[in-house]
Structure 1
Amino acid sequence: MLDWDDLRFFLAIARTGSLSAAARELRVTQSTVGRRLASLESGLGTRLLHRTPDGYVPTLAGEAILGQVERVETEVLAVERTTGGHDALLEGVVRVTAVETLASHVLIPAFCALQRGTPEIGIELLADVRHLSLAMREADIALRLTRFEQHDLVTRRIGTMAHGLYASPAYLNRYGAPDFAAGCPGHRLVTGLDGAEVTQAARWMTEAAPRAAVALQTDSPEAQLQAALCGEGMACLSRLRGDAFGAALLRLRSPWPQAVVEIWLAVHKDNRRTPRIRLVLDAVTAAVRDRASDLDPPESPGPVELVA
């Protein structure tokens, strides 16, 4: 008889293309992934995945069952969500995914306070640039800086986060004040990688400094901040982080208003009434709203200038 758990391993390898990536997704060892795949193929008497120089790809037999296995996964997850939704106990693990800045500087203090009062609830916080799937149970709660598009989620906007353009005094001494009217020629930028950037902030930087050269790209907002502190270039950072460094990191006043992005919270509709998830949802909402003045401080009035 087929074991869904074995099929789950096959599906993870087929999606990721490697044993190591599947192991990270399933949170097991690479040897376990290989062993479970071998067990499944042995039981079925056929190869399901073929190893190529570019990774694992489904064989003809694997292609034939892939859609069926995905449908089984959908049904199993629906059963888990339905039964989980009736769990009345304030205990268990809640997995939260959020962008790095919010995860480290807004959610961690709130979760520490929450667990002092409810130690039975465990929290897994994923500071990830990827958009993890709530439908596939990759996370229970998601906090993003863009709207959610899935139709099976309950979403709401819980705040806004302002961004500004920052540079260190050492950088400005070396390159001078940027000429925004001319598009900042001769200047350098520290930016996010494609898929990891905050869309509104990236668009704002493109408009403010179209003639500046990109010096460094990273998928980590904290790495962008450190690069700006080191004088590598100008960086579009959240006001929450950039303003915290005072004279070590100067906010540059451009002719454009600061970039402001919306903070969106989501949970799968089948999980929204699960007590432990509900409690964490409330804690996330309260944490963001309590830090509203830090996340989106008012723009300073006045002409174009450097602001310490």
Structure 2
Amino acid sequence: MAMLDWDDLRIFLAIVRAGGLSSAARELRVAQSTVGRRLASLEASLGVRLLNRTPDGYMTTLAGEDVRKQAERVEAEVLALERQVGGQDTHMAGLVRVTCSETIASNLIAPCLGTLHLTNTDIMVELIPNPRALSLSMREADISIRLTQPEQHDLVVRRIGTLAFGLYASPDYLERHGECDYDAGCAGHRLITQLEGIQDATQTDWLAELAPRATVAMQTSSHAAALAAAKQGGGLASLIRYQADQEPGLTRIEVPPLPSLIPSAGIWLVVHKDNRDTPRIRVVLDHVTKWVRGYVQELDPARFEKTKTVPAGD
């Protein structure tokens, strides 16, 4: 049997995880033909079929499942070695991959990283907005900025800020639907909510508790989409104050302190323990921390002052 190529095993794992050649190719940023060729090369080297194509995507055969387990052990060792060696990199230059949720990518993290070149011209940042928390252990990213606290033991986690939320609607919507009668469960109103499984889904639970008789008119995994829909009169939406307070087409509505306070979201800066002292990664970590903490009042204004709100129905 010919010696196995690690790149073939790596691509095989990508196909298994993505469920298809095209999805794996996008994840790996290579051509789909390359992925197919590498899979064929691996199967030829082993002399056995590893994957079967089904209506639900590619599924491992019995032999493929054995190879997957072995390949994942190899992958873990390779990644550990890369992190160990990478952590000894003393260069203040190179690529740093940063991932965050779409919720904060455009309005907070992109402006922050856009100023990094003013003091660090040799560091190139790759910003990856993704609703899925990319794996730092698997080196899908170097730094993650999340709205929920991760619990993996191999990560270094620091809370660097808080995002305050508010309840919003367009003036036109409020004129058409009237005030929010919380005692009546906001009957007759429409809600724009977040899909389950994303980082700020707690806002959906809070809205359901606040307005149990309202109708869910739209669900989305995008905070920007929820904001845009609310501006067009689509309904009530729980939005980040840092963004929504600046929108002329939205009104922030007073809400009662009960049944529960509107939840906020922590901003968590996350790095793998093996990479926290790598100079170029350390520079980006410090820059993001300083930037976000410099906007503490704008991100969480409720902590500093009782700002003017517009009562529902006014």
**Taking structure 2 as the reference length, what is the TM-score of the superposition?**
0.93
1:295 shift after superposition: 0.8
1:191 shift after superposition: 1.0
Runs (4+) of structure 1 exceeding 4 A deviation are: 301-304
Q: Residues 94 and 131 of structure 1: is their aligned pair in 2 closer, same or farther, counting only changes over 3 Å?
A: same
271, 285, 305: which one aligns with 1:281:
285
1:307 shift after superposition: 9.7
1:303 shift after superposition: 9.6
The question of whether the paired residues in 1 share the 8 Å contact of 2:166 and 2:253 is answered with yes
Deviations 1:66-121 (A, max 9, x none): 11110100000001000100000011111111122322112222212111322221
Deviations 1:147-189 (A, max 9, x none): 1111100001111110011000111111111111221111111
**Which residue of the partner structure matches residue 112 of structure 1?**
114
Cα distance in structure 2, aligned partners of 1:12 and 1:148: 24
Cα distance in structure 2, aligned partners of 1:295 and 1:32: 45
**Which residue of the partner structure matches residue 240 of structure 2?**
238
Query: Bigger shift: 99-108 or 51-60?
Result: 99-108
**Which residue of the partner structure matches residue 132 of structure 1?**
134
**Which residue of the partner structure matches residue 256 of structure 2?**
255
**Which residue of the partner structure matches residue 26 of structure 1?**
28
**Which residue of the partner structure matches residue 212 of structure 1?**
214
1:304 shift after superposition: 8.5
Cα distance in structure 1, aligned partners of 2:110 and 2:13: 33
Partner of 2:104, secondary structure, is: helix
Q: Give the aligned CA root-mean-square deviation in angstroms.
A: 1.8
**Which residue of the partner structure matches residue 91 of structure 1?**
93
Cα distance in structure 2, aligned partners of 1:60 and 1:263: 43
Alignment of 1:74-89 (within 5 A): 74-89=76-91
The question of whether the paired residues in 1 share the 8 Å contact of 2:180 and 2:313 is answered with no
Partner of 1:50, secondary structure, is: strand
The question of whether the paired residues in 1 share the 8 Å contact of 2:89 and 2:278 is answered with yes
Amino acid aligned to 1:300: K
Identity of aligned residues (%): 57
168, 171, 174: which one aligns with 1:172:
174
Q: Residues 90 and 203 of structure 1: is their aligned pair in 2 closer, same or farther, counting only changes over 3 Å?
A: same
Query: Bigger shift: 38-47 or 148-157?
Result: 38-47
Query: Bigger shift: 58-67 or 270-279?
Result: 58-67
**Which residue of the partner structure matches residue 200 of structure 1?**
202
Query: Bigger shift: 196-205 or 88-97?
Result: 196-205
- The size of the alignment, in residue pairs, is 307
The question of whether the paired residues in 2 share the 8 Å contact of 1:13 and 1:21 is answered with yes
Cα distance in structure 2, aligned partners of 1:197 and 1:111: 21
Cα distance in structure 2, aligned partners of 1:195 and 1:24: 22
